[in-house]
Structure 1
Amino acid sequence: MSTAPGPLDRWYQHAGVRTGVRRMFHEGAEQGLVFFPEALVPHLAHPAVAGLDPARRRELTVRHLYQFLLSTTHLETRVVNSAAERIANGRTGLDLAGGLREDAFKIYCDEGYHALYSLDLARQISGATGIAIPDWDYGGFVAQLRRAARGPLPDQPVLAGLLQAVVFETLITAVLNELPNDPTVVAPVRDLMRDHARDEGRHHRFFAAFFTELWAGLAPPERRAAALALPELIHAALSWDLDPVADSLRLAGLDRDTARAVLADCYRPAAGARRLSEISRSTLRLCASVGAFDLPGVREAFAARGLDELDDLS
């Protein structure tokens, strides 16, 4: 009996690590363009930032791009690949088909490549512009994600890590798709995001299928615990790591108190509620497909995190 093609069946022909080109930044060809969409840099419109010298505002935009690219390198290697390795090596506690495990190794290769080319482009831009890449290690953000996963699941770290990867991989495509069609952004950034989104579309389908198998293998109490963990994971994955933002503002000349005020105004929970809801819709549909919202208290837990538009997930 034939089976439907899997998202990674043609990985050798289509994966970026197999067929992609190195995206190169040439400053002369990108005059007048921005490094990151200004509408997606929350603090640029703040009164304390709006009046800065244009050169300082440009540096803020470049460092925001660095944060996006380098957080990707850490999340792909420290979060997603931790889960991909468990799946690939059969260390999930689930009875998975061999093909699914092989696909997890393909994802592992992809994510390492995404980390490499994100770091590569950041270094190219730094070399061309003279804007240094700050020494940010993203350990705080990774720890924040792990706390969000393990808080509701303190005794199940493996399940927490797998759910964390499912959430991240079903959210990231929507995030990446915000940039490629913006003509105000430098071409290598748009091209890299498009390359990344193409791979992540396949990863999304893999992790959606994996989540369905994972869910089916959980006992009813575990399902409810997992469902209650999901809104925290979604919220944490879409929250900016504020330490690098604060550091970037201080490098632009703001004093510590002013930088703290900018963060309070621009990154308060309600400020990004609409974007969080829009980006998370595909993940919410996945949760709905397994009946997560039918479990006691789950709909309320999502609503408490601003994920309350659950009636129209078609």
Structure 2
Amino acid sequence: MSAAGPLDRWYESAGVRTGVRRMFHEGAEQGLVFFPEALVPHLGHEAVRALDPERRRELTVRHLYQFLLATTHLETRVVNRAAEPIANGRTPLALTAALRQDAFKVYCDEGYHALYSLDLADQIAGVTGIAIPDWDYGGFVEQLAAAARRLLPDQPQLAGLLQAVVFETLITAVLNELPTDATVVRPVRDLMRDHAKDEGRHHRFFATFFHELWAGLTPELRRRAALALPELIHAALSWDLAPVEDSLRLAGLDTAAARDVLADCYAPTAGADRISEISRSTLRLCASVGAFDLPGVREAFASRGLYEVDGGP
């Protein structure tokens, strides 16, 4: 008998099969925040602390909008773009029917995650009167795509599959930061908890798939893929700064002040400890296939603060 797979009970446990619609009622959420203030890097900047409380509240709401709407793009344009060829057997790999069916389950889940992320953002905007700005929330996806083109220009499918593996093995740690934070409005916590449950299963699916993918690569492609991974990890954990700048300007900062805030709060070294912590599981996955044993790979990860050459990931 084969070992149980992470999506074997999908029909009984997936959010799209068993979940409820999360509803926002402002009256029940008085005194709570929309996004953990510790996870909004610019809230601690002196120029932002000087704003009146209502402007700061709007900043957290727009940060939540950016998180939710970027999710709709990531799930449909990054993860599902990888899940579809896996599901339909359009990769060079000889995958089992069970793995391909699991990829279709992931595909269904991600569409549902995109739907309820957009739904909650629309609900909050309607109740609070804080409009969802007409921004391009897919800029984050474009950042990922640009990194992939630069790192693996002649291997677009491999780059897309690696992007999905990286994102899906990072996202659970990100989502798990919110559900237990009692300062955050309940529908946001509940939605993040719902999402994290599905993504925990997706993490295991993509970890299994990554081993299959790695085994099918030539030695040269393994090294190139391994060298691309630290940049893909960083790209997946970086905010798209255009909406952040616009949000700061809507809060009352002029362009120069907004850009000073970005320079101080989103510098390349900012949040290094958090990135290292969130990526720990992804680094263990890389280690499990021997990626760090390939020439130059430890150094590439170390240059991004993701590997201590003498101590490991």
TM category (shorter chain) comes to over 0.9
1:46-195 aligned at under 5 Å gives the runs: 46-195=45-194
- Classify 1:309/1:32 alpha carbon distance in 2 versus 1 (closer, same or farther; 3 Å): farther
> Aligned equivalents of 1:22 and 1:140: distance in 2?
28
Does structure 1 conserve the Cα–Cα contact (< 8 Å) formed by 2:66 and 2:137? no
Look up the SS of the partner of 1:270 in the other structure: coil
Look up the SS of the partner of 2:271 in the other structure: helix
Look up the SS of the partner of 1:134 in the other structure: coil
> Aligned equivalents of 2:150 and 2:118: distance in 1?
31
Q: Could you say what the CA RMSD is over the residues aligned between the two structures, in angstroms?
A: 0.9
* Residue type at the aligned position of 1:103: D
Look up the SS of the partner of 1:151 in the other structure: helix
Does structure 2 conserve the Cα–Cα contact (< 8 Å) formed by 1:246 and 1:259? yes
Does structure 1 conserve the Cα–Cα contact (< 8 Å) formed by 2:70 and 2:138? no
For 1:25, the equivalent position in structure 2 comes to 24
- Classify 1:154/1:15 alpha carbon distance in 2 versus 1 (closer, same or farther; 3 Å): same
* Residue type at the aligned position of 2:110: E
> Aligned equivalents of 2:175 and 2:312: distance in 1?
23
TM-score normalised by length of structure 1: 0.98
1:165-314 aligned at under 5 Å gives the runs: 165-309=164-308, 311=311
1:212-240 residue CA offsets vs partner (Å, 9 max, x unmatched): 00000001000000000100100000000
1:69-98 residue CA offsets vs partner (Å, 9 max, x unmatched): 010000000000000001011111111111
> Aligned equivalents of 2:187 and 2:56: distance in 1?
20
1:234-266 residue CA offsets vs partner (Å, 9 max, x unmatched): 000000000010010010011000000000000
* Residue type at the aligned position of 2:198: D
* Residue type at the aligned position of 1:252: A
> Aligned equivalents of 1:153 and 1:237: distance in 2?
16
Runs of 5+ unmatched residues, structure 1 = none
Look up the SS of the partner of 1:34 in the other structure: coil
Does structure 1 conserve the Cα–Cα contact (< 8 Å) formed by 2:169 and 2:207? yes
For 1:7, the equivalent position in structure 2 comes to 6
For 1:43, the equivalent position in structure 2 comes to 42
Deviation at 1:312, TM superposition (A): 5.3
> Aligned equivalents of 1:238 and 1:200: distance in 2?
16
Runs of 5+ unmatched residues, structure 2 = none
Which has the larger displacement, 77-86 or 302-311?
Answer: 302-311
Does structure 2 conserve the Cα–Cα contact (< 8 Å) formed by 1:277 and 1:309? no
- Classify 1:217/1:237 alpha carbon distance in 2 versus 1 (closer, same or farther; 3 Å): same
> Aligned equivalents of 1:57 and 1:126: distance in 2?
16
Does structure 2 conserve the Cα–Cα contact (< 8 Å) formed by 1:169 and 1:207? yes
> Aligned equivalents of 1:148 and 1:208: distance in 2?
22
- Classify 1:121/1:139 alpha carbon distance in 2 versus 1 (closer, same or farther; 3 Å): closer
* Residue type at the aligned position of 2:149: R
> Aligned equivalents of 1:109 and 1:195: distance in 2?
15
> Aligned equivalents of 1:43 and 1:70: distance in 2?
19
Look up the SS of the partner of 2:151 in the other structure: coil
- Classify 1:309/1:178 alpha carbon distance in 2 versus 1 (closer, same or farther; 3 Å): farther
Does structure 2 conserve the Cα–Cα contact (< 8 Å) formed by 1:36 and 1:185? yes
Look up the SS of the partner of 1:271 in the other structure: coil
1:165-186 residue CA offsets vs partner (Å, 9 max, x unmatched): 0000000000000000000000
TM-score normalised by length of structure 2: 0.98
Look up the SS of the partner of 2:270 in the other structure: helix
> Aligned equivalents of 1:177 and 1:53: distance in 2?
30
Deviation at 1:141, TM superposition (A): 1.8
> Aligned equivalents of 1:35 and 1:123: distance in 2?
14
Look up the SS of the partner of 2:306 in the other structure: coil
> Aligned equivalents of 2:31 and 2:219: distance in 1?
56
> Aligned equivalents of 1:180 and 1:138: distance in 2?
23
* Residue type at the aligned position of 2:6: P
Deviation at 1:61, TM superposition (A): 0.4
> Aligned equivalents of 1:174 and 1:201: distance in 2?
9
